[in-house]
A and B are shown apart, each in its own frame.
Chain A
């Protein structure tokens, strides 16, 4: 499979004030994201998750090394718009990314910037709103919607630009469980049905478990990388860097500590229940 995003020996430091030494975030980070995949990036606060995400569409430029998006160097100014068109970004606070005071006008903002013709914008806006299940709300005022709905509007605003990849930077951090589920379901559907590559930055293990691949960042380095089953069974490692495995894995791990021989790759509640059933029966 082709890589849609590729960071090669990425080095990045935030510049310090008045000549003071800056804060180094990455020293030598390499990461490839395959086209069409659903990748979750996990890590504690301050591990560089958001900084990494901002490298994926040229908001931040590497101090050293390269980041390529669809083969384009993100540091190439002439390709800036092409990069941002290919990789859309959804941020944490839904309030601070909605521009217009009517839902459909906000979704139209991206394609309007790209200079798309009016009838085509209309088509894209309607389609995007249907895909996130917010079509009935197209004439509402955004500030009257719930957090989850606003975040889906923000996703629709990115979808209308028809990107190849969407990077979501903790999109559910400010939402209630219901809104969180709606957003994650929407994202999964887009990945499955439209083949859009998803990079989901999160610190909810349950969300990461939905991805095809989990990358754990710690202090600017990749601490673990693999399928959810491969990553979450490394419970000791996760604990040592201040993360927890999903509750199901934690439960099995706890019981194993007391002499049970449970598998650690039973992530979903159903799998876990089955594993427990088998164990009790045996």
Chain B
């Protein structure tokens, strides 16, 4: 059951978007989010939607899996929609229910806000769906490179992220093993109140932590044996390089922000 957990949900593929430099994709995502927040009218929202659908189409990620990924957001989306629907003044009154009024302006705001959240989330999904965790980490390390001058431990952070990603499956496997061992000795994880079930997990967490520390110790020794001395003087096997497609993509991203800004200025 624990095996089903996946992080980042990377869909291996070979589309143009998959092959873009991770840095390009990160920058594009930021540009896209900025454009989304700049957008303010039907036309600009339409533009963003077309762009998003276009990207999903090119990446060949099935639309279904993006929709499935948004399930946990249903409550937030409904909540936002209702709030905006009832608490926006202005425009013609469409419906009146006791103290609640729905106006045309409220309807418009509700649609925009819900659309914004959905498009924002699907845009970021597209990033994690098309970029493997390791290249995402590489991209982040490279983009945050200038922060090293401000003494931000950029290399250490990305190394930590990389090791965390590496050990997630190992630790999940270990948790499964410990839980089976406890079950074999009569532990009960499935029945009882939430509090009881939470208490039953303590005997699982203790050995898990102990073994995680032991693993960390061994890993540290193994890394030292392989001459690890931190980020200074380290080289990389795979160098990140911008190609022609990356420049095109970044150009499109810039146009998107500019377009959204111009449209917003005219209130479209």
Contact = CB atoms under 8 A, between A and B. Distances in A.
Given A81-B227, A105-B237, A113-B234, A96 B222 contact: yes
A91 B237 contact: no
Given A115-B233, A125-B237, A161-B227, A96 B218 contact: yes
Contact of B134 (A95, A105, A109, A122): A105
B220 to A, nearest CB: 10
Interface stretch (B59-67, B160-168, B182-190): B160-168
Interface string A55-81: 001010000000000000000000001
Q: How large is the interface on B (under 10, 10 to 19, 20 to 34, 35 or more residues)?
A: 20 to 34
Contact of A102 (B134, B221, B233, B239): B134
A69 to B, nearest CB: 13
Interface of B: 132-134, 162-163, 165-166, 169-170, 173, 215, 218-219, 221-229, 233-239
Interface string A92-124: 010111111110110011111111111001100
A93 to B, nearest CB: 6
A128 to B, nearest CB: 12
A171 interface: no
Given A101-B134, A112-B234, A125-B237, A158 B226 contact: yes
A43 interface: no
Interface of A: 57, 59, 81, 84-85, 88-89, 91, 93, 95-102, 104-105, 108-118, 121-122, 125, 141-143, 157-158, 161
Contacts of B226: 84, 88, 99, 109-110, 113, 157-158, 161
B219 A99 contact: yes
Contacts of A59: 221, 224-225
B236 A118 contact: yes
Contact of A104 (B173, B225, B236, B237): B237
